[in-house]
Chains A and B, each alone.
Chain A
Amino acid sequence: MGKLHLLSALRIKGINVVAAADKSEKNRKYVEKYHVRTYDDYHKLIDAEKLDAVIVSLPNFLKKEGVFCATDNKLDIFLDKPLARNFAEAQEIVHKVKKENVRLMVGVNYRYFPSVQKLKSNLDDGRIGDAVIATSELILNGPLSHSVVPTPVPEWWLSKEMAGGGALLDLGYHLVDILSWMFGDLEIAYSNLGYTLNLPVEDAGTVMLESKNHGTTCVVNVGWFSKSIFPDFNFRISINGTVGYDSTDRYAPRDLRVHAVKEGTLNFLRRILKRKMHYLSYTYYYSSFFHVLELFFEALRQGAELPVSLEEQLDVIRIIDSVYRQQGVK
């Protein structure tokens, strides 16, 4: 993910990417191709470089240390989701960020899919009426996805201690975040975790949530158990309201290859006409990463409020942590 953030940041106007740190020499060589200085340790990077902000893209068990190092040096932070491995760790991070008076935003990119934005806009507009039932699904292969060049799954993903959880923390984080963003205060009505792959962490999860503000019943279904290869993307949010039904499926491209050709052509024209490029829009999925990073830097530059608040993210991790507790996961 760090590589994608680098490639994105290099294309965001007004941002000067000065350095990157990675333990892997191979990754450092990759970064150096873009004339960015590299370090094998982020502490060395922070000591040596004059910075305004950092992107922290670390495995879950290293996040807190990375964030603390940045806050100690008064740097603003863009952090990959999840905010932390559990609620207690998240509270520590939020406390530290506030104490040091820096700004931190979690990159919850799923909010920024055009289909999710459209659904939220229709909901806010009253087109669906009052939302009574909202269902969400994100069922993929998670860290078990097979890349073009086969590489082993990093082992930390499959350790409860290091990752903090499985499919629920990884994929459910996005769904709970979106539902929480749409419907406000959520409380758990039912939860279940599945271990079909016999891994140390759950590979399936179902959570039913009740919105105290709207009275909406929300269902979250997540899984790592389904073989899926990019560009397959099994994600949807559907809302049944007092006026009708709406779903992200209505606004997501039906054929991602046709979408890629269409968006690629439009970007080509944008380039010729010197209009603003829609980076990665041809992939549908990855454009949201670019967008959320761009919003973070825009807010920093303008001194504006960050579009994703820390309190919201603390609540997402509280809900997920509560499911693990209910299910007796230690």
Chain B
Amino acid sequence: MAKVVLASLKKKNFADDDIEEGVERAIDRLDFDFRDDIQNVVIKPNLCYYWNYSTGETTDPRVVSAVIDYVRDKVGNDASIAVAEADASAMKTKYSFRVLGYDKLCQAKKVKLENLSEGNIVDVKIDVSGKEIVLPINEILLNADLIVNVPKLKTHNFVGFTCSLKNMFGAISKPRKYSYHEMISHVIVGVNKIVRSDIIVVDGIVCRGSHPKKLGAIITGDDSLATDFIAAKIAGFNPKRIQHLTMAKNEKIGHINNIELIEDYVKLKEIKKNFPSRKYSIHKFSWKMQLRMLKMYARLTGDVIPPILSENSA
């Protein structure tokens, strides 16, 4: 059975202590069994771009700060803790760590800050739904005793919904992950088959759907799929219609039927009501339609399509 905790900030003043208390309480309610032999801990936030937590795009460093404190308390001072993220198609960690405040955080907490695109990287072969894929994975992840996945609660242009499973896609060492977008569900499931998250702490303090919103929610879980299943419901999706979730279920990455949901200071339907959901299919259709119409217009009139909008120019 999987366990998922849905917690709300108590004071809802979004201050540092309010967030710290909320994160600790949400992890505590999981009753996670921290083994005695944990030596290497990796915390993986979502730092997909240079937009900070207030935009609803990246993980709030205050959430990661509370996670570091909690884990340190459980695993002791001798264990190594690292906050890790890989470079992305449009993002370089050497800037995002600075811009998003992670370099300062890790310095203050005396934990390592790792770029998963550098160092020892292993090509790992994996079969996903009968398709064999090879993914470059950093040894930091492969050698970790405990992986804490700290995604953001938000919607996504390609997969519709993004949370803990999609957050591990960002951990693949190859920077230009855009090239995986043709088979993104397979790759999301593949990386989660290779690297299993032990604890999931979803930052729903500020979420993003149709717009950013101060939701004040923390979702924790001991199963990525189960956590995403609940988070998808909150974001207004039918989780059974999200390709990478159904694929993950078929690949036995986690549970969707046997979930114990603990509601702490908040009800799921209350949070769901407050989430600024958007009709992803309409958005995707409308964007593709706009691009198609633009290309037709340019053909008919001879007008210019700015290279920034034309995929061929990249």
Contacts and interface: CB of A to CB of B under 8 A. Distances in A.
Interface of A: 3-4, 7-8, 11, 30, 144, 146-153, 158, 197-199, 227, 230, 264, 267-268, 270-271, 277, 279-280, 282-283, 286, 290
Contacts of B303: 264, 267, 277, 279-280, 282
Nearest to A271: B301
A152 B304 contact: no
B304 A4 contact: yes
A199 B309 contact: no
B297 A268 contact: yes
Contacts of A230: 308-309
Contact of A283 (B90, B175, B306): B306
Contact of B314 (A11, A149, A270, A290): A149
B95 A199 contact: yes
A158 to B, nearest CB: 7
Interface of B: 49-51, 55, 57, 88-92, 95, 98-99, 101, 104, 175, 178, 297, 300-304, 306-314
Contacts of A3: 307, 313
Contact of B302 (A197, A271, A283): A271
Contacts of B306: 4, 280, 283, 286
Contacts of B178: 149-150
B110 to A, nearest CB: 20
Contacts of A277: 301-303
B311 A151 contact: no
Given A147-B314, A271-B301, A282-B303, 8 more contacts: A30-B312, A146-B90, A147-B308, A152-B90, A197-B98, A198-B104, A227-B51, A286-B306
B297 A153 contact: no
Contacts of B89: 150-152
B297 A149 contact: no
A227 B314 CA distance: 21
A154 to B, nearest CB: 11
A268 B298 CA distance: 10
B302 to A, nearest CB: 7
Contacts of A280: 303-304, 306
Nearest to B94: A155
B307 A146 contact: no
A149 B301 contact: no
